[in-house]
Structure 1
Amino acid sequence: MSKSFKNLIEKMPAERQNRIKQKAKDLKTQMALGELRRALDLTQEQVAGTLNMNQAAISKFEHQSDIYIGTLRKILSAMGAELKIIAHFPDTDVVIDQFTDF
C-alpha cells in the first residue's frame, strides 16, 4: 500500500519540516529529478518505499532521459508534487490535460 508524502512529512521533526518547506520555496524552476529529490531532503529509499519499489528502480528513473508520463507522475506524487504538462507557444501557454486521470 502506498504511503502519502504528507504522512511521511508529518512524522518528521518540526525543524526538518521547516527546512523542507524552505528548500521547496528555493527550488530552481528547472532541475533534474534527482536534484529535486535531494533538494526536498528525500532519499531514493524513501521515495521507493512510498511507491513500493526498490531503491535501484528510483536510481534508474533518475538517470533516464526518457520516462513514461505515468511513471513520472507517480514519482513526483511520492515527493509531494503534482505533474502539470504545459505547451509553451509564442503567444500563449496551453495545459495538456489528457494525462490527468491516471
Structure 2
Amino acid sequence: MANKFSELRSKMSSDAQSRSKAKAQALLDQMPLNELRQARGLSQKMLAELLHVQQPSIAKLEKRTDMYLSTLRSHIEAMGGELEVVARFPEGIVKISNFSGLDSEHAQSV
C-alpha cells in the first residue's frame, strides 16, 4: 500500500524536513525554461497560443542557449512572470535597469 507523501514527511525529523525543504527550494530557484513552463502548468501549445506563435517555436526556444532578452522577457511574461537582469558581485547584487523599459511591441519574435 502506498503512503501519502505528507504522512512520510510528518515522520521525518525536523532537521530532515528543513534539509528537504532547503533542497527543494534550491531546485526551484534554478531551472530550465521547459521545466519552468511545466511547473507553471502550461503546455508548449498553450504557451504558443499566448505568444501567437506555433508550438515548434516554443520547443526550439526552450532548447536555445542564446537568445534576445526581449524574447526571453516575452516568454516569461506569457507565463505570468517578470524578467529581471541582475549582476552578482562579491559586494552585492545590482539590478540592471536598461532592460526594464523595453516595449513589448519591440520584442523579438520567438
* TM-score class normalised by the smaller sequence: 0.7 to 0.9
Secondary structure in 2 matching 1:86: strand
Alignment RMSD: 1.2
The alpha-carbon deviation at position 34 of structure 1 amounts to 0.3
Question: How far apart, in 2, do the equivalents of 1:78 and 1:46 lie?
Answer: 10
1:98 partner letter = N
What does 1:1-102 correspond to in 2, within 5 Å? 28-102=28-102
TM-score by length of 2: 0.67
State the 1:101 CA deviation: 1.4
Q: What stretches of structure 1 of length at least 5 have no aligned partner?
A: 1-25
**Identity across matched positions, percent:** 42
Query: Structure 2: how far apart are the matches of 1:96 and 1:40?
Result: 26
* Structure 1 stretches of 4+ moved >3 Å: none
**2:46 match: secondary structure:** helix
Tell me, what secondary structure is at the counterpart of 1:67?
coil
* Higher-RCO chain (CA-CA 8 Å, sequence separation at least 6): 1
Structure 2, unaligned stretches of length 5 or more?
A: 1-24, 103-110
The structure having more radius of gyration, on CA atoms, is 2
Amino acid at match of 2:35: E
Q: How much does 1:48 deviate?
A: 0.7
Partners of 1:28 and 1:90 lie apart in 2 by: 23
Tell me how many residue pairs correspond in the alignment: 77
Rounded to whole Å, the distance in 2 between the matches of 1:67 and 1:35 is 18
1:28 aligns to what SS in structure 2? helix
